[in-house]
Amino acid sequence: MVDLARVQKELHECNRDVQVSGINVTLKGDSLTHLIGTIPGPVGTPYEGGTFKIDITLTDGYPFEPPKMKFATKVWHPNISSQSGAICLDILKDQWSPALTLKTALLSIQALLSAPEPDDPQDAVVAQQYLRDHQTFVGTARYWTETFAKTSTLAADEKIQKLVEMGFPEAQVRSTLEANGWDENMALEKLLSS
Amino acid sequence: MDLDVRRTPPSSSSSSSSSSSSSTSFLIRMAIRISRSRCFSFLRRVFHYQNGSRSELGSNPFNSVTWMIMECIALSVQIIVTTYTLVVTKEERPVWPMRIWVFGYGFGCVISLILLYLRYWALYVSQTDDSDLEQQISHDESRALPSRMERCRTWIEFFFAIWFVMGNVWVFDSRFGSFHNAPKLHVLCISLLAWNAVTYSFPFILFVLLCCCVPILSNFLGYNMNMGSVDRGASDEQLSNLPSWKYKEIGNKEEITSCDECCICLAKYKEKEEIRQLPCSHIFHLNCVDQWLKIISCCPLCKQELER
């Protein structure tokens, strides 16, 4: 069984200093075994400014087995699959230790973003590009960050702006959009019916 | 070494290619030189092993004198036994194919004995000097005999295989009182069939024996074949050697040196909870750390491995 008490504690710990670390862990559903972690892209890298979502699944052996983590946001990085989001990181595999926590694992992933290891790649194409054509790699990584890791904030602002222009109060618009998973049409229907 | 090859300058190959006959002879000589160089000796061995009849002395274990003597003994024993039984059991009245089968088997044995002698003669008497490949090529006709002999050998093996199957069918099909009519012949047939069965299944038997022997041997020698992959956990004995005690709130000096919560379950130590200390002086809840050490025997905090 998953050590639920520990997971509770970890969530509490993590969300206490979210302002400092920028790392956030939230529940995906009702169960404590499916979580979503968010990490900010490290400053000074092509991932700067992006917010990356990481899908976390805790196996029954947790904390004696590593949590299963993969990127839900598309990332252009030698050690992260551009297709599936699978992460190539030793502490998520054989170097796991029960003294590590979700937060430290997410911090390690953040560190991996700023220090890629192209010699042990997960995505061979990206690793090749990283080694042979670094300029293009930086460009692509930045483009992917702009496109996939920033959409939520940019698009959200746009959507709010749109609905506010239709004459709804901004607070109501924001809460309705959040309740409907940022689906513009659904939120509009809700707003009109209320 | 391949110095031989390098010594011939590339210009010589282009000049000799003008006339086709000289170029082919050059190529042959080249091939011979290459094949003689030591770095190809392994390949040559493999080649010769696969083409048994052309092999050098001793390169094929089935052409060694010891093996041939063993074959000779086996064949002679079979021939003697069959003739003896056939002579002794003249009065016996077996089912009709049995006597034919025994006779045919003995005949096959005689032929293979002759072939064995021919093989021995071809390998050890006629080809006294076959160390030079160039000479071998010139003496092409000397290899005609071995190749024909090889074909004969294949045929005789084929004959024995068929005869074995036929014998099985006849002997075990005609068991209606044949044992009472011709007990000696019957016993001979069965023993010959058994001998054949053993020789045919010899590779399989060898394989099974190897499969049994390797684990036993490795156990005997104390070598763990799964080392490094599976056996990373600590044994119960190792765990019991580690110090442990009950936690006490006040006056516990470990409380001062390290933090007051178990980093595995992230819970604070409570009064009378069992604590275990690792050689690196890190402390954990006994239950938590034991569960981990059984998976991988190193400290969760500093990765220091436990002594074996």
Q: Flag if A10 and B266 touch (Cβ within 8 Å).
A: yes
CA distances from B206 to A35, B212, B213 (A): 56, 10, 10
Side by side, the strands of the sheet bearing A34-40 are A24-27, A34-40, A51-57, A68-71
Check pLDDT > 80 for residue A171: yes
The pLDDT value recorded for residue A105 is: 93
Q: Flag if A98 and B267 touch (Cβ within 8 Å).
A: no
- The DSSP call for residue B174 is -
What is the number of other CB atoms lying within 10 angstroms of the CB of residue A58? Answer: 23
Query: Does residue B10 share a domain with residue B141?
Result: no
Query: Does residue A156 share a domain with residue A136?
Result: no
Query: Does residue A120 share a domain with residue A71?
Result: yes
Distance, CA of B53 to CA of B299 (rounded, Å): 64
Q: Which of B266, B270, B290 should we substitute to test contact with A (largest number of A Cβ atoms within 10 Å)?
A: B266
- Complex ipTM, two decimals? 0.72
- The DSSP call for residue B233 is S
Q: Flag if A64 and B291 touch (Cβ within 8 Å).
A: yes
Distance, CA of B265 to CA of B290 (rounded, Å): 12
Query: Does residue A38 share a domain with residue A57?
Result: yes
**Which residue has tokens 């063993």?**
B70
User: Which residues in chain B touch residue A97, judged by CB atoms under 8 angstroms apart?
Assistant: 300-301, 303
Closest Cα in chain A to B290: A64
User: Which residues in chain A touch residue B303, judged by CB atoms under 8 angstroms apart?
Assistant: 97
Query: Does residue B197 share a domain with residue B75?
Result: yes
Average model confidence (pLDDT) across chain A:
87
CB pairs under 8 A between A and B: 29
Query: Does residue B174 share a domain with residue B76?
Result: yes
The answer to whether position B303 is within a domain reads no
Distance, CA of A152 to CA of A147 (rounded, Å): 10
Domain with A171, as residue range(s), is 152-193
Q: Flag if A6 and B265 touch (Cβ within 8 Å).
A: yes
Q: Flag if B263 and A98 touch (Cβ within 8 Å).
A: yes
CB-nearest to B266 from A6, A64, A97 is A6
Closest Cα in chain A to B283: A99
Distance, CA of B279 to CA of B304 (rounded, Å): 8
A88 is catalytic: yes
Q: Which of A2, A8, A59, A64 should we substitute to test contact with B (largest number of B Cβ atoms within 10 Å)?
A: A64
Q: Flag if B263 and A64 touch (Cβ within 8 Å).
A: no
The answer to whether position B20 is within a domain reads yes
Query: Does residue B78 share a domain with residue B207?
Result: yes
Under DSSP, is residue B284 helix (H, G, I), strand (E, B) or coil? strand
Q: Flag if A98 and B288 touch (Cβ within 8 Å).
A: yes
CATH number at residue A28: 3.10.110.10
The neighbouring-strand residues paired with A112 are none
Domain with B70, as residue range(s), is 61-219
Query: Does residue B65 share a domain with residue B171?
Result: yes
Express each pLDDT in A48-106 by its tens digit.
888 899 999 998 888 889 999 999 999 999 999 999 999 999 999 888 999 999 999 99
Residues of A with CB under 8 A from a CB of B: 3, 5-6, 9-10, 13, 63-64, 97-99, 101
Closest Cα in chain A to B304: A97
User: Which residues in chain B touch residue A3, judged by CB atoms under 8 angstroms apart?
Assistant: 265
Query: Does residue A80 share a domain with residue A164?
Result: no
Q: Flag if B264 and A99 touch (Cβ within 8 Å).
A: yes
pLDDT tens for chain B, residues 1 to 308: 443 444 444 444 444 344 455 666 777 776 666 655 554 555 555 555 555 444 444 456 777 788 888 989 999 999 998 888 888 877 777 667 778 888 888 889 998 888 888 888 877 776 554 444 444 444 554 555 667 778 888 888 899 899 888 888 877 776 555 666 777 788 888 888 898 888 888 889 999 988 888 878 777 776 655 554 556 777 788 888 888 888 776 555 554 445 678 888 888 888 888 888 888 888 888 888 888 888 888 888 888 887 76
Query: Does residue B181 share a domain with residue B130?
Result: yes
B115 Cβ neighbours under 8 A, 6+ residues apart: B149, B152, B153, B156
Q: How many domains does chain A have?
A: 2
Query: Does residue A107 share a domain with residue A65?
Result: yes
Q: How many domains does chain B have?
A: 3
Distance from CA of B215 to the nearest CA of A (A): 28
Residues of B with CB under 8 A from a CB of A: 263-267, 288, 291-292, 295, 300-301, 303
The pLDDT value recorded for residue B1 is: 40
Query: Does residue B27 share a domain with residue B165?
Result: no
Query: Does residue A98 share a domain with residue A156?
Result: no
Domain boundary among B184, B219, B254: B219
The pairing of strands A24-27 and A34-40 is antiparallel
Name the active-site residue from A39, A80, A87, A88. A88
The pLDDT value recorded for residue B55 is: 43
Distance from CA of A103 to the nearest CA of B (A): 13
Q: Which of B103, B131, B20, B120 shows the shortest CA–CA distance to B67? A: B120
| Crossing angle of the two packed helices A184-193 and A170-179, in degrees rounded to 10 | 120
Query: Does residue B93 share a domain with residue B204?
Result: yes
Closest Cα in chain A to B282: A99
Distance, CA of A70 to CA of A121 (rounded, Å): 15
CB-nearest to A64 from B266, B267, B295 is B295
Distance from CA of B263 to the nearest CA of A (A): 5
The answer to whether position B202 is within a domain reads yes
Q: Which of B78, B73, B69, B76 shows the shortest CA–CA distance to B195? A: B78
CATH number at residue B276: 3.30.40.10
What is the number of other CB atoms lying within 10 angstroms of the CB of residue A134? Answer: 11
What is the number of other CB atoms lying within 10 angstroms of the CB of residue A148? Answer: 18
Q: Flag if A5 and B267 touch (Cβ within 8 Å).
A: yes
